Copies of this chain bind each other. A is one copy, B any other.
């Protein structure tokens, strides 16, 4: 074949992604990625979804992979484009979500000239990536892309960042696209499982089986409660989880509370904790007179899941030891939430959400202070999947909802977002509209950084002065989320009482495409 007919490095990258099962690309490209755009355009089967800001792109990739169980690619424009995506990559990294970032860079020969957009991309990528690579020539693209894909695999999933200089994208190569080999599953270690079983039996009601990661899938939760019945142990989960199946008769997994004092009380009687895919519980933040580690000082810690082991598989192995054959788990009845009425209160809001939630919904929770009472109320709902923020960086909810909707077009997505959080990535609304994503966005508009108001009180500094008020309140001006949604192309309404909220939710869930509801909290 004539060299001018060879594929470009960009073509090889896209074909390697497709051959390895990566067929969705969330993108915010620029000039240096134009040959990648052209390669995607030429490649049948690659879906490209534009974000107007890179935090939307990376958050969507996170939400996508949590549901699809395979990574999406992101396409980002040099160092600043990557930088804009780092906060949601941080969340994805902490959630164990696989993501493949493709970051364009200047042509290799151009880098020495310190052009305006030149920066040290590799260093920027490292804190939020498990793997960072760079294809210095078109010939290196196939192997480098396959390495990146492989690097994302495993349990938990990982973040790979592949830097592609423009000349590696536009240059032609005779090296064929690769297929990334699948990572081999790591079997649970028998000794770990035996140790866990024996600890649970020994400590009984003073043992806590803490489920995290894939141990929060439906079958693993059922198995955990069967183990609890057999051994007398308690079952719980961390306060926030990447993906948790709930409702539809599944037993309810209690969460460790966010507030340090409440978490300490929750864990006070635990003499032994068995970590089933969850880390040792630690405080979100440190406080002057409070501990960082939340379990009692002499609590025994048993890790049931070695690195690389799927917690679902480990949980099944534990149940096979602990649970008598023929055991049937008591059925957890579904109790439809009451239809709400009256003013908007934490309880009536929770009732409205629970009452209207469609079967098999995906719920993204970034409700922060407004949403703390919702969790319990949803116990009796139909089956749904709950996605939580594992990295604590806000601006997570709407982008993740976009990605989840792309992965699961037949399921309704409910994104519950505090107004302070929603501002960080409000551009996600536009992508929801463009993709006709089946997402109901609920904005809890208290016009406040309410969580910080609480933290302010913890400092003991007394009433806020002018400067502190200016940094902790959002009420001057009060944002109008109905206008913001419409400006981005999303239909919206505002509700001020509980019945109106329930009606608005019913309308939203039934509509094709996205819809936003501003809940006027104050």
Segment 61-95 of A: residues with Cβ below 8 Å from B: 75, 79-81, 83-84, 86-87, 90-91, 94
A166 contacts B286, C-beta separation under 8 Å: yes
Contacts of A484 in B (CB 8 A): 483-484, 487-488
A115 within 8 A of B: yes
Contacts of A390 in B (CB 8 A): 116
Chain A count of residues within 8 A CB distance of the other chain: 107
Instruction: Provide 6 A-B residue pairs closer than 8 Å at the C-beta atoms, listed in order of the A residue.
Output: A30-B452, A34-B455, A80-B391, A110-B282, A434-B477, A479-B489
A186 within 8 A of B: no
A81 CA / B86 CA spacing, docked (Å) = 10
A468 contacts B38, C-beta separation under 8 Å: yes
Given A110-B283, A392-B116, A427-B426, also A477-B489 (CB < 8 A):
yes
A124 contacts B86, C-beta separation under 8 Å: yes
Given A240-B116, A467-B41, A467-B48, also A487-B483 (CB < 8 A):
yes
Contacts of A424 in B (CB 8 A): 52-53, 84, 427
B53 contacts A470, C-beta separation under 8 Å: no
B468 contacts A107, C-beta separation under 8 Å: no
Which residue of the partner chain B has the closest CB to A282? B113
A159 within 8 A of B: no
A285 within 8 A of B: yes
A41 contacts B464, C-beta separation under 8 Å: yes
B465 contacts A110, C-beta separation under 8 Å: no
B43, B55, B123, B426: the one within 8 Å of A426 (CB): B426
Given A87-B84, A116-B94, A424-B53, also A285-B166 (CB < 8 A):
yes
B434 contacts A430, C-beta separation under 8 Å: no
Contacts of A128 in B (CB 8 A): 83, 119
A27 contacts B471, C-beta separation under 8 Å: yes
A80 contacts B84, C-beta separation under 8 Å: no
Contacts of A446 in B (CB 8 A): none
A87 contacts B80, C-beta separation under 8 Å: yes
B117 contacts A127, C-beta separation under 8 Å: no
A470 CA / B24 CA spacing, docked (Å) = 13
Contacts of A476 in B (CB 8 A): 434
A465 CA / B83 CA spacing, docked (Å) = 29
A393 within 8 A of B: yes
Given A113-B292, A292-B109, A430-B477, also A393-B80 (CB < 8 A):
yes
Contacts of A472 in B (CB 8 A): 37
B106 contacts A119, C-beta separation under 8 Å: no
A114 within 8 A of B: yes
Contacts of A191 in B (CB 8 A): none
A183 within 8 A of B: no
A29 within 8 A of B: yes
- Besides A48-B471, A113-B280, A423-B430, 15 other A-B contacts (C-beta < 8 A): A37-B456, A38-B468, A48-B468, A80-B391, A81-B87, A84-B84, A84-B424, A110-B285, A115-B292, A119-B127, A123-B126, A167-B288, A170-B459, A480-B489, A483-B483
A78 to chain B, nearest CB (A): 8
B46, B474, B487: the one within 8 Å of A480 (CB): B487
B452 contacts A29, C-beta separation under 8 Å: yes
Segment 24-49 of A: residues with Cβ below 8 Å from B: 27, 29-32, 34-35, 37-38, 40-43, 46-49
B114 contacts A279, C-beta separation under 8 Å: yes
Contact with B along A478-494 (1 / 0, CB 8 A): 11111111111100000
Residue of A75, A170, A285 most packed against chain B (CB within 10 A): A285
A131 to chain B, nearest CB (A): 15
Contacts of A50 in B (CB 8 A): 470-471
Which residue of the partner chain B has the closest CB to A166? B286
Residue of A35, A170, A280, A488 most packed against chain B (CB within 10 A): A488
Contacts of A455 in B (CB 8 A): 31, 34
Contacts of A465 in B (CB 8 A): 41-42
Contacts of A459 in B (CB 8 A): 34-35, 38, 170
Contact with B along A283-297 (1 / 0, CB 8 A): 111101000110000
A116 contacts B467, C-beta separation under 8 Å: no
A82 CA / B282 CA spacing, docked (Å) = 23
Query: Which 4 pairs across A and B sit closest by C-beta, in order of nearness?
Result: A477-B489, A483-B487, A80-B393, A484-B487
A461 within 8 A of B: yes
Which residue of the partner chain B has the closest CB to A108? B286
A285 CA / B32 CA spacing, docked (Å) = 7
A152 CA / B479 CA spacing, docked (Å) = 35
A94 CA / B392 CA spacing, docked (Å) = 31
A391 CA / B459 CA spacing, docked (Å) = 39
A127 contacts B116, C-beta separation under 8 Å: no
